[in-house]
Structure 1
């Protein structure tokens, strides 16, 4: 019971943070409006409490929200379950279909992860103080290719899966027009692997937004975005890298 209350409190905190600021919604809509048009299909992989789902829906897109963590999947169902243009997949995404163990952060569910390396990298790192992954659960896992087979080819894929982004991209063999993946400065190697995978899939242009700024910089090639990532100070902490085919 105590564990359930801790998780509920953490989810409510996330809802306040991610849904409580109109200016943030406006900035998010402007950012994703560069990639998403009304009627498009979007995959939100690692949908968490669904703030990006909200942005994609405001832009008129259909959304497949992928979230394996039970508490967050229930939250998505409560917010978007009656929206016929939102499909909720309660699965992790990786390089192959099957099952995977999630390391659950009870007090901060949005950083629950399928990556043991992510947990190790966060241990003792500046900016990650106090994070604890004290529970594990086994969840079903699918691939991006399987999601495309089930739902259709999306115009855009957003991937935010706490250090498991490179594994998710290994399950994509048919590139879509554009995608994004989260990076952290505690695991630059994972982000570099994602850049390399995108380049192998044919992505030519890359950009980035730091933290929750929702502000893109200049477009670069794969080599230059990798150099930009390597030069970031540790305090930058995290952000998202965007990749386009054209």
Structure 2
């Protein structure tokens, strides 16, 4: 639907983008059920979970239904307003700050019709803008947002049992603001910018000994039967990205020290 048609109908592109995201991520009950089953393997009742880049809250709500106490981080004003209406007086706490390597303020580039790809990373925006999968995406709005770090959030809320990071090319910066290993976390990767995933793996290797697995797209199933050590996983991720253009999530599980 063109901007001219939207204008004539009195529909703002940002409104269309919000409802598009709601339909994709919340409107398909079979996907919601698969996500809820998957989240029960990540957290136990009473666990604390961070959802960094909460978007329309489907992950936050699935984690909450698994029994976790969830802090949902979403700096986009329209999405945060939507989440605030959804999570009021429930097990999910909304935090409107972005997360990065250092505390401060930064410019968030918003794609009104595709709010899921709004980002703090100008470099990521430039690079994926050349990919055919992002054709038609326009980051037409800018807003200044407050940025904090994972270390500060842990000091404020406690250490999460699970931390999900989906911030459109800003994942390595989020992990740069973390100085301790977490038990279980996930970060998004895109095949067009696989070097960002490599930086995330480097940071995790500096924090602790992890094993890794992969979920492609919205399948909510691990790609590998076994969790791989870092070197083997890097090769597996490169192979997957070379044959599959869909983005996905890398899951990192901290190895328990031998007793």
TM-score (norm. length: structure 2) = 0.91
Q: Can you give the 5+ residue segments of structure 2 that lack an aligned partner in the other structure? A: 1-6
How far did residue 34 of structure 1 move? 1.8
User: Is 1:202–2:208 an aligned residue pair?
Assistant: yes
Query: Is 2:167 aligned against 1:158?
Result: no
Count how many residue pairs are aligned between Structure 1 and Structure 2.
Answer: 245
Change (3 A) 1:131 1:234: farther
Give, in whole Å, the separation in 2 of the partners of 1:245 and 1:12: 37
Q: Name which of 77, 81, 87 aligns with 2:88.
A: 81
CA contact (8 A) 1:111 1:162 kept: yes
| 2:23 paired with 1:40 | no
Distance between the aligned counterparts of 1:210 and 1:67, measured in 2?
Answer: 23
Cα offset, 1:32, TM superposition: 2.0
Q: Is the 8 A contact 2:45 2:66 kept in 1?
A: yes
Offset of 1:225 from its aligned partner? 1.6
Q: Give secondary structure in 1 for the equivalent of 2:186.
A: strand
Q: Which residue of 2 aligns with 1:222?
A: 230
Q: Residues 119 and 167 of structure 2 are in contact (CA less than 8 Å); yes or no, is this contact kept in structure 1?
A: yes
Cα distance in 1 for residues equivalent to 2:130 and 2:124: 12
Residues of 2 paired with 1:25 and 1:72: CA distance? 19
Q: Deviations over 1:155-191 (max 9, x none)?
A: 0000000000000000111222100000001110001
RMSD of aligned Cα (Å): 1.6
Q: 1:143 aligns with which of 145, 149, 154?
A: 149
1:27 and 2:34 correspond: yes
Q: Which residue, out of 102, 122, 129, partners 1:123?
A: 129
Secondary structure at the residue paired with 2:132?
A: coil
The reply on whether 1:9 has 2:16 as its aligned counterpart is: yes
Distance apart, 1:146 and its partner CA: 0.8
Pairing 1:177–2:183 present: yes
Q: 1:54 aligns with which of 55, 61, 82?
A: 61
Instruction: Report the Cα distance in structure 2 between the residues aligned to 1:217 and 1:211, rounded to whole angstroms.
Output: 11
Please identify the structure whose Cα radius of gyration is greater: 2
Compute the displacement of 1:192 (Å): 0.6
Task: Return 214-223 or 188-197, whichever deviates more.
Answer: 214-223
Rounded Cα–Cα distance in structure 1 between residues aligned with 2:132 and 2:191: 10
For residues 89 and 11 of structure 2, the distance between their equivalents in structure 1, rounded to whole angstroms, comes to 25
Q: Kindly provide the CA deviation profile for residues 54-86 of structure 1, in whole angstroms up to 9, marking residues without a partner as x.
A: 100110110000011101101111111221x21
Distance 2:94 2:209 in 1: 27
Q: Give 4+ residue runs of structure 1 displaced > 4 Å after superposition.
A: none
